[in-house]
């Protein structure tokens, strides 16, 4: 499996400099597009995390920007005329609940006790990069499995996703990319 995007720096529409119509409560909420290629035919579900390891010196922990579990591959867009097999389209985070209700999104770091946001439109969706001190590197890590991960529901925490991947009894494929978010 390979993960890619059409950029190495996350475009403004999906990050700190996003226009106001791409924000909720001043936070960017329109997720960026990416591609999944070379997926083995027996892999039927995708799961991913978008995290900011460069946030550790700033806030003391790795900032969680987006988590998704149990995304059925057959619900994704296939473009046979494109070089890419699967596309996660722009703004997928906000459209996912209506399009693919069996897939679930976890909480991001705005839902944690240090930030305390309560609006699910912000806390249980993609929250774009807003690095306060300098450009940060963001890691998008995707896992593929034959079957869904059990016991994950809307609003799960990242550790629950990681435990689900760790405890999964079947074959797992994984890949990731680093992207830059501008300060």
145's torsion region: left (phi>0), alpha (psi -120 to 50) or beta?
Answer: beta
What are the tens digits of pLDDT across the range 171-180? 999 999 999 9
The residue-averaged pLDDT of 61-82 equals 85
- CATH number of the domain residue 22 falls in: 3.90.280.10
What are the tens digits of pLDDT across the range 127-163? 999 999 999 999 999 999 999 999 999 999 999 999 9
What are the tens digits of pLDDT across the range 3-18? 999 999 999 999 999 9
**Structural domain range at position 18:** 2-181
Radius of gyration for the alpha carbons in the chain, expressed in angstroms and rounded: 15
- Spatial separation of the C-alpha atoms in residues 61 and 167, rounded to whole Å: 24
Token representation of residue 94: 């906000």
Element holding 163 (H helix, E strand)? helix 158-167
The residue-averaged pLDDT of 77-94 equals 79
Q: pTM for this one?
A: 0.94
Domain count, the chain: 1
- 68 contacts: CB under 8 Å, gap ≥ 6: 46, 47, 48, 93, 96, 103, 104, 105, 106
57 in Cβ contact with 149 (< 8 Å): no
């Amino acid at each position: 499996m390979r993960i890619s995007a059409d950029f190495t720096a996350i475009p403004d529409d999906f990050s700190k400099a996003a226009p106001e119509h791409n924000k909720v409560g001043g936070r960017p909420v329109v997720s960026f597009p990416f591609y999944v290629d070379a997926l083995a035919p027996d892999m039927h579900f995708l799961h991913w995390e978008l995290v900011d390891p460069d946030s550790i010196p700033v806030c003391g922990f790795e900032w969680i920007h987006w988590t998704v579990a149990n995304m059925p591959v057959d619900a994704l867009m296939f473009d046979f005329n494109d070089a890419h097999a699967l596309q996660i389209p722009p703004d997928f985070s906000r459209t996912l609940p209506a399009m693919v209700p069996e897939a679930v999104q976890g909480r991001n770091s705005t839902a944690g006790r240090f930030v305390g946001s309560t609006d699910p439109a912000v806390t249980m969706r993609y929250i774009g990069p807003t690095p306060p001190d300098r450009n940060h590197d963001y890691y998008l890590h995707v896992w593929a499995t034959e079957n869904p991960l059990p016991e994950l529901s809307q609003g799960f925490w990242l550790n629950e996703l990681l435990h689900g991947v760790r405890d999964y009894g079947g074959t797992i494929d994984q890949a990731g990319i680093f992207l830059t978010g501008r300060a």
